[in-house]
Amino acid sequence: MIKQTLGSVLTRPTVSVIMPCRNEERFIRASLASLLSGSWPPAAMELVVVDGRSTDRTREIVQELVRTDPRVRLVDNPQQVTPAALNAGIRAAHGDIIVRVDAHTTYPREYVAVLVRALEETGADLVGCGEQPTPANDGVWARAISLALSGPFGTGSAYRYRRQSGPVDTVPFGCWRRALFDRVGLFDERLLRNQDYEHASRIRKHGGRVFLTTEAHIRYHPRASVGALCRQAAETGMWNAFTERLHPYTFRLRHVLPGPFLLWVLAALALILFGHGSTRTAGALMLAPYALANVLSSLWLSLVSGAPQLAPLVAGVVAAHHLAYGYGICKGWLLVASGRWRWRLGQPGDGLPQPSSESAGA
């Protein structure tokens, strides 16, 4: 039914929106509703929900929509990991264009239209919208975390602070022509995290272009506590090491610098705590440039947001985020060096690109 309906629409490209999910009963109804009420012609769109065998009411909610809206389909993901869900959704999709979304997010009405228009007008191979970090609640720490991730000093992800459309090295979620996956392959199912960044890097490696459009923004809710944010940063840093080991073309200096930065801070603190006189002064001077840059950046973000009282908290969040990320990077490369990283990888799927994907040794 959906395939026939999609095939009958000639005026616009047909779009398959793919939503990986697992245990998202709190958010998935609103997320799906925002997409189904969007401006893209209903007859030219399908929504493929790929569920990782949820144990809450997620599947029940989706099945209700399947019965009432022919655009919605439910696909099973027995592996219960994101890259396998993405690949299953792409294989099941009928559309000319693939749009990936997240069940934890609501989308502006023009979301799909903006992405498809940018894909067609720019000729890029991958297009995404900007993210707007939004506090998960009204607490001061949640607000400080959101501010910390909204500036270039706090995060290297340009799509969280760029206000002008243009080329980037990665985007959140994504929009692709279906034919692209025949050319560069599907997502690497070994990468339980970071699979989207690796795929964007693979596109660029094959001469493709990645483009950020700021015509629309999606609301991104960072972790609400500093502890949760730091755990996420440490995991991301660790998986960056694994990704670069598997796929050297994903290397970016910004993904490595937090590791040496952590070691630099530890060395400076050792001098301050255990040194004497000029040694302690040297340790303090080692930390001074970073501290000054952090304070100025955090103060500027807080002033712009109209909450200057949050500046000290923002600076603390930024420092904690950088140190946790650095810890993750160091841990990841130590696991790679010891050979103990492989058991953390997912099972390889059949959509991997052949060049360099099997280059990992120990």
Residue type, 294: N
CB atoms within 10 A of CB 179: 10
- Residue 132, H or E segment: strand 126-133
Domain assignment present for residue 18? The answer is yes
Domain assignment present for residue 95? The answer is yes
φ/ψ of 210, rounded to 5, equals -115, 130
CATH code (residue 36): 3.90.550.10
Query: Considering the chain, what percentage of its residues have pLDDT values greater than 70?
Result: 93
Domain assignment present for residue 49? The answer is yes
- Residue-wise pLDDT for 22-53, tens only, equals 999 988 999 999 999 999 999 999 999 999 99
- Residue-wise pLDDT for 204-227, tens only, equals 999 999 999 999 888 877 888 999
- How far is residue 43's CA from residue 40's CA, in Å, rounded to a whole number? 9
More confident residue, 303 or 10: 303
Domain of 48, in residue numbers: 1-107
φ/ψ of 73, rounded to 5, equals -130, 150
126-133 and 72-76 strand pairing: unpaired
Q: How many domains does the chain have?
A: 1
pTM, to two decimals: 0.87
Burial of 256 (0-12, 13-18, 19+ CB in 10 A): middle
- How far is residue 36's CA from residue 58's CA, in Å, rounded to a whole number? 17
3-state secondary structure 41-90: CHHHEEEEEEECCCCCCHHHHHHHHHHHCCCEEEEECCCCCHHHHHHHHH
Is it the case that residue 356 has pLDDT exceeding 50? no
Domain assignment present for residue 274? The answer is no
Domain assignment present for residue 78? The answer is yes
Output the average pLDDT for the chain. 90
Domain assignment present for residue 64? The answer is yes
Q: Which residue has the tokens 């989308």?
A: 107
- How far is residue 42's CA from residue 44's CA, in Å, rounded to a whole number? 5
Domain assignment present for residue 256? The answer is no
Domain assignment present for residue 252? The answer is no
